[in-house]
Amino acid sequence: MKSIPVLTEDHFCAEDFEKARVDGKKRLKHKAVPSIFSHRVPKKIRKPPFARLPNSPANNLAEEQAEPEEENLLIAADSIADGLKSSKEPHDHDESADVATEVPITSDIQEDAPPNMFSEVDVLKRQLNLERRKRARAEMECDALRSSFNGLLAEDQLRVLQKGTMRGSSWTQKTIQESLKVRLACGGRGYEYLRGNGWPLPAERTLQKHIEDIKFTPGILEEVFPALASKVATFHNEERYAVLMLDEIQLTPGLDYDITTRSVIGRPTLPSSDPSAEPVLATHALVFMLGGIASRWKQTVAYHFTAESFDAAKVLDLLFEIIRRCESIGLSVDCITSDMGGGNQAIWRLRGIMATKYGRPRTTCPHPCGNNRSLHFLADAPHLLKNLRGHLVRQQKILLDDDTVRKNKLPSNEVSIKYLEQLCEIDEKHSLKLAPRLKLKHLNPSHYEKMNVGTAYAVFNHAVASALRLLVEQGKIDEEALTTAWFVDQEFKWFSLMTSRTPTMALSDLCSEKGKEAAGPS
């Protein structure tokens, strides 16, 4: 049975029908002409995908699917065109049917449907080519950016930047070594600042895990000097001046197994000052440390376990060897600082460092690196301050020479602690203190308080000197207290100069008046 084409309401637009009627019927307008001849559901045009990373798998998949989509559109267009051609073929039906199918249907399909479909394909092709050019340009920019970072960042660091997070990242040994150099050059705060700003660097804990196996045996720390040389290479000329410090710390005697060296530790590694002494366990550790003079930095470079005493000659040889190593990496060490312990004074005597009551003090010796340089030996300022306080609290006399008494017009030459005790007794009777830091317990310290620098600083304070002068003016204490006030003021000024961290209080030869003002009357 042959199919007969018919016209239905589906071939007319909504505008071809009359408005809603009261009887509910749906009628065509008398001038209505059919204009819809295809009942296929039009394919929805997909929205363009979101922007993706240049090398993402989704982009590759979209590129692979682009050509099949174009082929599908062309096939669909061809099928529509074939259908349109088939509609022109003659049919075996009456003339009325032929008239109904030939005139309006074929002309509208040929004019409307094919041009729209092919224009849409052309637009999609142009969009596809444009996106391909954009992707090629982005890949070129990415390659150029990657090549520019090759000399600055390693491959693992570039991967971290692409990933967007440093958590769970793996690092190569070269990156670990470079990061350790950055950590030594910048310090802890500088290193964390770089990481906080997105610089791809391992965490400090990661660096610590990689240096846990570094040899840290007693003696000169050989593996520290290469890293220190990298740090010194970043210094300015004035930052290369350093001081070598040595100090003892007390240990709990005992033996322990060191897993890094696979040996038992806890015995002295330096011989005792008494060769006939029996072997004992180590009670102290002698630490050698470098510190900056013009800038704040420090680095431990050696250590040894000692008993109650040590061989001063061995320690002196070790000091000179450390100085030579430091000079070889660009540092300039012209000073050795220590406390005034018996072992350290023995080192001083080996180089002729001494100060007698009537002789001229000698504080330098020839530098081990030569070049007509001098090596200075200095006592630690906090220890000197504690020793001075110890002289006073033990009721030992401190007498000034006649020239000092005459130049400063002092009433006597004796410095006494009794005036400080009188000051404390007067202050206890008032709520408003003349010397708020000074207490009676500071003048009679316990065993542990003797080692506290803060209690010694409370005694040698500018407020104490001013309070003594005020009490003398008021007639509450003897006039001879002015000598003690002058001495306290001089020690306060000296300690402030020795512990100053700013150039405003430093001694300088650039301005003689400023230097005399800082040093005070001689």
CA distances from 122 to 43, 71, 154 (A): 16, 12, 45
Q: Is 331 in contact with 299 (CB distance < 8 Å)?
A: no
Distance CA(17)–CA(29), nearest Å, equals: 6
The structure tokens listed for 161 are 């930047």
Residue keyed to tokens 């007693």: 218
Q: Mean of the per-residue pLDDT values for the chain?
A: 81
What is the SS3 string spanning 203-272? CHHHHHHHCCCCCCCCEECCCHHHHHHHHHCCCCHHHHEEEEEEEEEECCCCCEEECCCCEEECCCCCCC
**Strand-strand pairing, 219-220 and 298-306:** antiparallel
Residue 368 DSSP symbol? T
**pLDDT reading at 522 higher than 70:** no
Cα separation, 1 vs 404, in Å, equals 140
Average pLDDT over residues 256-276: 86
- Cα of 405 vs its chain's centroid, Å: 54
Region 92-119: what's the mean pLDDT?
48
* Environment class of 495 (CB within 10 Å of its CB; exposed 0-12, middle 13-18, buried 19+): buried
pLDDT at 19: 78
CB contact burial 408-438 (16+ within 10 A = b; e otherwise): bebebbebbbebbebbbebbeeeeebbbeeb
Question: With 70 as the cut, is the pLDDT of residue 53 above it?
Answer: no
Task: Provide the H-helix boundaries in 373-452.
Answer: 381-393, 402-407, 418-428
The predicted pLDDT at position 512 comes to: 65
pLDDT value, residue 54: 53
Q: Which residues contact 46 (CB under 8 A, 6 or more apart)?
A: none
**How far from the centroid of its chain's Cα atoms is residue 367's Cα?**
37
The confidence score (pLDDT) of residue 96 equals 41
Which pLDDT band, with edges at 50, 70 and 90, does 106 fall under? Answer: very low
Whether the pLDDT of residue 267 is over 50: the answer is: yes
Cα 356 from Cα 3, distance rounded (Å): 135
Considering only CA atoms, which of 203, 192, 142 is closest in space to residue 169?
Answer: 203
User: Region 231-238: what's the mean pLDDT?
Assistant: 90
Confidence of residue 97 (pLDDT cuts 50, 70, 90): very low
Closest-CA residue to 28 (of 37, 39, 15)? 15
Give the Cα-Cα-Cα angle 258, 263, 264 (nearest 5 degrees). Answer: 80
Distance CA 367, CA 369 (A): 5
Give the per-residue pLDDT at 248.
92
Bridge partners of residue 354, in order along the sequence: 362
Instruction: Report the C-alpha gap between 295 and 187 in whole angstroms.
Output: 13
Calculate what percentage of the chain has a pLDDT beyond 70: 81
Can you tell me the distance from the alpha carbon of 219 to that of 517, in angstroms, rounded to the nearest whole number?
A: 44
Q: What is the pLDDT of residues 353-409, one digit of tens each?
A: 988 877 788 999 999 998 889 999 999 999 999 999 998 988 888 899 899 999 999
Compute the radius of gyration of the chain from its Cα atoms: 47
Task: Find all residues with CB under 8 Å of 411, minimum gap 6, and list them.
Answer: 479, 480, 482, 483
Number of H helices, E strands in the chain: 16, 11
